[in-house]
Each structure stands twice: as C-alpha cells, then as structure tokens.
Structure 1
Amino acid sequence: MAATAAHAGARQRQARPQQHRSAQHHHGRALRRRSTRGAGEWRITADPCGRVSQKNWGRAVAMANPRSTRINECAVERRSVCGRSHRREWPETAGAVLVAPGVKGRKVAAFKRDEVNRKDAVSGLIRSIIGPGGDARRAFFVLDLAEVVDLYNGWRRALADVRPHYAVKCNPEPALLGALATLGAGFDCASRREIEAVLALGVKPGLIVYANPCKPESDIRYAAEVGVNLTTYDSEEEVAKVQRWHPGCELILRIKGPENAEAKIDLGTKYGAHADEVVPLLRAAQRAGLNVAGVSFHVGDSATRTDAYREAIVAARGVFDAAAALGMPRMRVLDIGGGFKAGAKFDEAAGVIKNALARYFGELPSVEVIGEPGRYLAETAFTMAARVIGKRKRGEVREYWIDDGVYGALSCILMDHYVPRPRPLASSYPGEQTYASTVFGPTCDSRDEVVVGYQLPEMIVGDWLVFDDIGAYAASTGANFNGFFTSDINTYLAYSS
C-alpha cells in the first residue's frame, strides 16, 4: 500500500507543469518537488574586478570593497515581478560587516529574507550552493550575517547598558567573530586557543575577559604575554596561580548562580563561589596583592525562571559591599553571564535585568556591566544541510544515513540538548506520504542516531536534509571520531535583505 502511494506521488510530480524545468535539471534531485520563489531575487552581474560571475537566481556572490562601507562596485541587481531592475546598495552596517576580519575576501551570497517563509528563502540559497555537482558535496553550514547584525542590535536595544562579550566557545567561526568585533562586541574566552583566535582578528586584549575560573599555568602565562589582564576565579588555588604567573592581572570573583533557575544546563555544580566562601576568597586576593575588579555569575543555559537574574544581581551587590567593608578598591565590573536564548524569554529576562540593575546598582554609575551571550548571537544565524548517503527499507520504516551525526556538528544533540527537526530540502506538497524514519550519522557507532520514528517523505540517496537554528555548541563540540572530521564542514556566508 505504501509503495502504491509512493508511485502515485511520483506520477503526480511528473504530471505537474514544468515551469522551472531548466532549474530542476540544473540542480537535479534536490529540486524534484515543487519549488517556490519570492517576488524579488538577487543576482550579481560583475564582481569588483569586473569578472562576470554565475547568474543563478537566488545567488549573488558579493566581494566586499575594502575602500567603502558599501559594495558600490558590485553590480547587484534586483528583478521584481514587474521586470524592472533596481540598483541595490548594502546598508551601512552591512558594508562594515562585509569587510570585517574573517569575512573580508570571502564570497558572500545575497538573498531575500522572507520573515513569514524564512525557511523557504534559506532553502533556495542552499540549492544554489549545492549546484549541479551536489553528489560531490558534503554537509555544510550557511551563516546569515544579517541575522547576526539583527541579533546584536536587538541586544543593544534590550540591554543598552550591558556590553555583550560573545562567548567564543559557543561557535568560533571566524566570520562570526569578525562580524561581532566590527559591531563593537567584546569577547569571553575560556582557553588560550580562543584568545589566539580573537587576537588574530585584530581585537584588542582589553576587550577580552579570560572567563575560566580554573586555567592551566601555561595559559595564564600566555595571557600575561599578550596583555589579557582580566580573568575569573572561584578558589584560593587559582589566586596563587595568577599571583605567580600573571601578577598584573585583575580578578573577577565568580559566584554561584541561584538554585532552581529552570535552566537547560545548570552550571552551578562546577563553578561559582558559595555565599560563605566569598569573604575568604576576597581576602585571599587581598593578601596576594591582586585587585578584584568585579563579580560574575551565570544562572544557567536557557534559564526560564527569569527572576533568577534578579536574585543573582542581589547576590552580586552583596559581594560589592563585602569588598568595600574589607577596604578593597572599589569594584568596577559586573558580569551577568550568558545562556540567553533569542525570543520572548530574552525580552522578559532583559526587563528583569534592567529593573534589578537600576534598583541595586543605580547609585554605582561607574560600574561597567557586561554579559556573555553565546547562544543568543549564534544559534539562529546558522543553518546546516546534510546529504543522504544511504538508505534502507524495513517494512513501513525508512532508515537513512547522512554525512553528519552526533560526533560532528550534530553533537549538539548530546552536548546541548538540541532537538533536531530536519526537513527535506526538496519541497513537499499537501498530502504527500510520509514514513516513520530513523536518520543515522555516518560513523560506525550504533548510538550515532539523529532522529528515530520521525516523519519524513520518501527520500533517496543524494537528497538533502536541512537543520535550522544550529549555530550554538554544534561544530564547536564535534569530534573527529571514525575519521569523519567536524572541521571538514564548510561554512558559506550570506547576507539576507
């Protein structure tokens, strides 16, 4: 019965008008089902050197002009349904981001973003990237730099007095780091390599917080060598290490976040001084001759009880007062941590944070408040496409293998509680037969399962699955198990309009 339905669906597809026949032939099986286009799309007619580039609809390869904040030398045209062409200039922010370190010199695809049908717009771009030689490609990311700009601006609107220090551990993609540096972000680094990655982009050491309360001695020495002079601690042993290897470094005391913040990942079990440890740790720094510049906390990843931020800010103010009572220099930094997730909960948390800062730190205007957003700035800006490389039928169940799994970028399933909702790149149609499907990753480990019992239409080897909102703790937590290297997954840059 299922086979009959599948054959019937195939006949329906063959019977449809072939208004996009050339495009379907060009992109192969990836476009075998109905496709849609927006009212206006972008193409490029020449790059800054005058060379003619591909004119595939949905793809505009733009090379940044280093002498301008606008890409005026790229003849990017828009064709609307009326047939007229319109010269397009990038917004000022876009121009700055497109010449940012990590972005400059790389191709950037331009596409029209439809807020209602956002996934369709990204799918069109993915099809153009796959192109006619799709069988030679492997899984890849698409980074929409415009989404990064929007998220950064959203943070600045919601928390205007809190400077974001992006948590590099979340996603160290150089283009993302460079774009954020250009926009004005600081950085939260937790290791020598993260510091090296940020400094390589031209970021000043003073914009880096070495936010790891327990560091190897060699990395502390490195921080001293490059001028990263602000780090976190929550133990007397860490005070001794910093005193020996980086005596000019200032400290930030990491305190434990509130209980029951209803966070996806509770970080308080590993890091953060308890209330009865605060004064002894302040005194330890005082004896060592190290300045404690401020306080940091982290309520946990994706915390849903937003009042936890108020409780943490109250606790932080208590530490400020305790330091003053000990005669220590006035603290000047409050780090409210990270774990923020874009959306309504972030807006709610921002309101709680602003009110608490006004109430408990309002009379301390010299205090610099910073945050460590990682997920907030990275998660929704990335989309991943993975290719179907194997298939097996077992009755009514379909089993597929794709070229990324839980040891690669999809490690976020295990490490970050990511809930995958893969969708076929090929557009579906109403009433299409779906099957309970299992999707495996490429390794030989039987635990390399992406989804089980998930409804998908019939697919074949060479089709593609798309994973949305996969920018947080994905590639950064992957491994190289079984010879499948996470670092082999390319990132294509885009800027939506």
Structure 2
Amino acid sequence: MTNVDVNTRVERVEKLPPVSNQIQEKIDAFGHEDNAFAIGNLGDIIRKHRIWKECFPRIEPFYAVKCNDVDPVIRILADMGLSFDCASKIEIQKILDLGVDPSRIIYANTFKQSSFLKYAAEKGVSLMTFDCEDELEKIKKVYPEAKLVLRICPQSNYKVKFHLGRKFGCHPLRTSELFQVARRLQLNVIGVSFHVGSGCLETGAFAEAIEQSREVFDIGLAMGFNMHLLDIGGGFPGKKIQNVETNITFKEIGRVANKSLDKYFPGNNVRIIAEPGRYYVASAFTIAVNIITKKIVMDEEIVQPNSTECGDDPTTENKPVRMYVINDGIYGCFFECFIDPRCYVPSHFKSIDKELYNSTIWGPTCDALDLIIDNVKLPDLSTGDWIYFKDMGAYSFPTISTFNNMPRVNEFYTCERQLWEEVYQP
C-alpha cells in the first residue's frame, strides 16, 4: 500500500525498547513539562490483526470505531483492509474520509437519528442493524433500500462484565413479529447479529448465542428473506494484563466460536462478520501521568462510601493512607474506572523491593467521583513522580470531556519498521 502523509507523525524504529524506557525518554526529552501523555504502539495493532486472521479465518472484522477513533489508529486499520462498525454520522464521515468504500461499513446502532440515517443513505452505507418495529418504520421512510440485520439479545446465564441486553436487541421469541413487520414494509432483511456483552467471562456465551442466531436465521429464511449474513458482535478481550475475574483468552474464544460456527453455519453460504473494538487497541496504548499532589490521611478520617461519618467501621484498623492526585482522570482517559473500578493496574519506576503502602489514586478535577483506583499497594511516592498505566487503548480517548478544562493527554505514536512495512511498502 501507499504510505500516507498523516502517519509521518509515527516514529518508526528498528526495535522498540520496553515501554517504561520509552516513557522515561519522553520525560527526559520534555524536561520541565508535566502534562500526561500517551504512547501508542501501532505495531501492536498489526500483530493483533495477524492473530485475528489465524484464529478467525472465516470472520471479517468490522472495527468498532467508538472504542478508539484517533486518526492513526483508524487509518492504519483501514489501510490493513479492515471494515468498520460505526454508530453515528460523524463516525461514518470519519471512515469515509479515509477513502473506505461504503460497503465496508455497518451502521451498527439500533437507534438511528433520522438525519444520520439520511446521511447514510446519501453516502451509500446500506448495511445496518435494527431491533424494533419503530426502527423499521423509520428505515422504510428514509432508506427503504437498506440491507438490514436483526439484532437479537441472546438469552444466556453465562457471565459477562456488562450486559447489553436491557437496551439492545430483540428477544429471540419475538423475532418472528419483526420479520413480519419487515415483510409488510417490503424491507430487505439479510442477516442476524448479536453481542454477548462487554467483557465476556465465559466462552460458552458465544456458543449459545451462535446457536440462538441459527434458530432466528431459519425463521427469516422460512419467511422468504434472503438471509446470508451473521454478525457475532464484540466482547473479545484485548488486554495483555489478564483480568483477575477470568482466565479466558482470545484464542480460547476463537476455538469455541469456530466450533459452533462450523456446526450451525457450515460451508461458505453465509458471510460472517464481527465488531471487535478493545481487542485491537487495548494493549496498544500506555498512558503516563504525573503525581500533582500527595496527601496522607488516616483510615478513620476517611468518609466511607454510603456513609456520612468518618471511620464508622469499628473493624477498620487505623493506618495511614497515601492519596495521590494525578493529572488525568475519569473525565480524561480513565472513564472506565467510573464503571469498572480497578480495571487498570498502575506501574511505577521505584525498586520492586520497596515497602508497599495502602494507596488511593484520584483524578485532577473538582469532583469526588474522579477516583481512579482505591486500596492499591504502592511504594512511597512523591509529588512530581511519574506512574503509568498499560492497556489503555480502549474507551479512553473517545470519552475525554472538557470538564474543568483539564488538558488532554499528549499523544505519541511509534511502530517497529518491519511491521510498518507489512502495511506500507517502502
């Protein structure tokens, strides 16, 4: 492929040093500057795509733009030939501006603003999801030529961190009603989609959802629709640091899902796609933050959650707690900490044999909800010290707000030259 001018901002090196060394180099280079910054390793994304093709040879990845939409990321994914899952007009526009053909986009938001739907029609983005009658009526009015994918809500007892079924998807037992509405409106339903939930903790969730999709698929076929697409959604792990709640890996999900696909969707008559987001980008980014304030308090002085009194738990041992305020938080790249405490693990530059202390890390804003991690063991740190967090590529940059007008993290991008040249021929 042809090199693109925008990626001249990507530093290409023969071999990347450990990320701790890269961070220290940036700290040394910028001297007195103390703003938080991120290092994005695009080579990690290239490696992830290699693994995807090995584990899912039948499945086309439609990258979920909402997960991380910074330009170097979506551009290199586009240049590797990926397709895209978009949720809004702006996301569609971003991907089209990269020169991606509209056929490589699925408008995978079951609730579409009419003006956004009109934009999709104007641009020829015809593949899209739905899960209710009202959405079908809207599509009939605005874009009757659309190619529709019925999103179901898989019924399962398997564990996931965040269930999506309360908001998205149609119960499998109600799908025949929606097929009837689509047939009455003369709309073109071509497939079924599902999402097992964000942070899948058991591989069986994919197997069960694929089986239920087959049943819905057959209902559509029996009602005369040309069903030829299955979308298995997202929920694939992407962190290098394993989640303490589960030991499942991406490759294990691949083995289970492929077995079910071979059983329920054998052959090549059905096109199979997926909507991975964090799988591709989570481990590609590390964020370095500066400690802007250190505060030591005693356990008994801390107001506990859901309490109006300090130290109201008589079983609590009165020990000092080191509170560290850093210069990025939940209104910056750490939004996931608001809904998933302890989802990131802090690293530091201190000796590993240093004594560890009970610590809490806060974000910089004037909001007591701006909590990064509570009750974590760290060595004694000081104002001005740097710490860093790995696996920060998913749902970090797109969620940055302007609250308190705190500065946005600076971004630096790097890639090993050999990996870069797999995508961009010299």
Q: TM-score range by the shorter chain?
A: 0.7 to 0.9
Count how many residue pairs are aligned between Structure 1 and Structure 2. 388
Residue 348 of structure 1 pairs with residue 252 of structure 2: yes
Give the secondary structure class of the aligned counterpart of 2:381. coil
Higher relative contact order (CA 8 A, sep 6+): 2
- Offset of 1:100 from its aligned partner? 4.9
| CA–CA separation in structure 2 for the residues paired with 1:289 and 1:168 | 31
The residue correspondences of 1:286-435 to structure 2 (distance < 5 A) are 286-328=183-225, 330-342=226-238, 344-363=248-267, 365-394=268-297, 396-416=320-340, 419-424=343-348, 426=349, 428-435=350-357
- Correspondence for 1:490 among 403, 410, 413: 410
1:104 match: secondary structure? helix
Report deviation, 1:111.
Answer: 6.5
- Per the TM alignment, residue 464 of structure 1 is displaced from its structure 2 partner at its CA by 1.0
For residues 331 and 214 of structure 2, the distance between their equivalents in structure 1, rounded to whole angstroms, comes to 42
Task: Decide whether aligned partners of structure 1 residues 285 and 141 sit closer, same or farther in structure 2, where only a CA change above 3 A counts.
Answer: same
Task: Go from structure 1 to structure 2 and tell me whether the alpha carbon gap of 1:496 and 1:260 turns closer, same or farther (over 3 Å shift).
Answer: farther
Q: 1:401 to 1:151 in 2, by over 3 A?
A: same
Give the whole-Å Cα distance in 2 for the aligned partners of 1:324 and 1:429. Answer: 63
Q: CA 1:289–1:381 in 2, change beyond 3 Å: closer, same or farther?
A: same
Q: Any idea what SS the aligned residue of 2:376 has?
A: strand
SS of structure 2 residue aligned to 1:385: strand
Kindly provide the amino acid, as one letter, of the partner of residue 442 in structure 1: P
The amino acid of 1:423's aligned partner reads S
State the TM-score, normalizing by the size of structure 1: 0.74
Q: Equivalents in 2 of 1:290, 1:495: separation in Å?
A: 46
2:385 alignment counterpart:
463
Q: Percent identity?
A: 38
Unaligned runs of 5+ in 2: 241-247, 299-319, 418-426
Aligned position for 2:304 = none
Residue 459 to residue 496, structure 1, CA distance change in 2 (3 Å)? farther
Distance 1:417 1:433 in 2: 24
- TM-score, with length taken from structure 2: 0.86
- Contact between 1:135 and 1:462, CA under 8 Å: does it hold in 2? no
Structure 1 residues 353 and 134, CA, compared in 2 at 3 Å: closer, same or farther?
Answer: same
Instruction: Give 1:417 shift.
Output: 5.1
Tell me the distance in 2 between the aligned counterparts of 1:350 and 1:311.
Answer: 14
User: Is the CA contact (8 Å cut-off) linking 2:128 and 2:146 kept in structure 1?
Assistant: yes
State the secondary structure of the residue aligned to 1:129: helix
Aligned residue for 1:347, secondary structure, equals helix
CA 1:310 to 1:107, structure 2 compared with 1: closer, same or farther past 3 Å? closer
> How does 1:93-492 map onto structure 2 within 5 Å?
99-100=3-4, 103-110=6-13, 112-113=15-16, 121-328=18-225, 330-342=226-238, 344-363=248-267, 365-394=268-297, 396-416=320-340, 419-424=343-348, 426=349, 428-484=350-406, 488-492=408-412
Secondary structure at the aligned position of 2:200 is classed as coil
Amino acid at match of 2:260: A
Residues 322 and 125 of structure 1, relative CA distance in 2, 3 Å threshold: same
Q: CA deviation at 1:299?
A: 0.8
Q: Displacement, 1:261? A: 2.4
Q: Secondary structure at the match of 1:264?
A: strand
CA contact (8 A) 1:171 1:474 kept: yes
Superposed CA RMSD in Å reads 1.9
CA contact (8 A) 1:111 1:494 kept: no
Q: Match of 1:490, as an amino acid?
A: N
Shift of 1:174: 1.2
Post-superposition offset of 1:153: 0.7
2:309 aligns with: none
Checking the alignment, whether the CA contact within 8 Å between 1:134 and 1:462 is kept in structure 2 is no
* Paired amino acid for 1:349: I
**Structure 1 residues 200, 319: closer, same or farther in 2, change over 3 A?**
same
- State the secondary structure of the residue aligned to 1:142: strand
1:226-269 deviation per Cα after TM superposition (whole angstroms, max 9, x unaligned): 11111100111000111111122111000112322201110111
Q: Is the 8 A contact 2:16 2:415 kept in 1?
A: no
Query: How far apart are the structure 1 equivalents of 2:4 and 2:34?
Result: 27
User: 2-side partners of 1:275 and 1:479: how far apart?
Assistant: 37
CA deviation profile, 1:21-74 (whole Å, cap 9, x unmatched): xxxxxxxxxxxxxxxxxxxxxxxxxxxxxxxxxxxxxxxxxxxxxxxx7xxxxx
| C-alpha displacement of 1:178 | 0.9
Indicate how the Cα distance of structure 1 residues 176 and 282 shifts in structure 2: closer, same or farther if over 3 A, else same: same
How far the C-alpha of 1:282 sits from its partner, in A, is: 1.0
CA contact (8 A) 2:154 2:172 kept: no
Q: Which has the larger radius of gyration?
A: 1
Q: Helix, strand or coil for the counterpart of 2:110?
A: coil
Structure 1 unmatched ranges of 5 or more: 1-68, 70-95, 115-120
Matches within 5 A, 1:17-166: 99-100=3-4, 103-110=6-13, 112-113=15-16, 121-166=18-63
Contact map agreement 2:344 2:391 (CA 8 A) in 1: no
Letter in 1 for 2:138: K
User: 2:10 touches 2:415 (CA, 8 Å); kept in 1?
Assistant: no
Return closer, same or farther for 1:463/1:134 CA change in 2, 3 Å cut-off. farther
**Closer, same or farther in 2 for the Cα pair 1:276/1:137, shift >3 Å?**
same
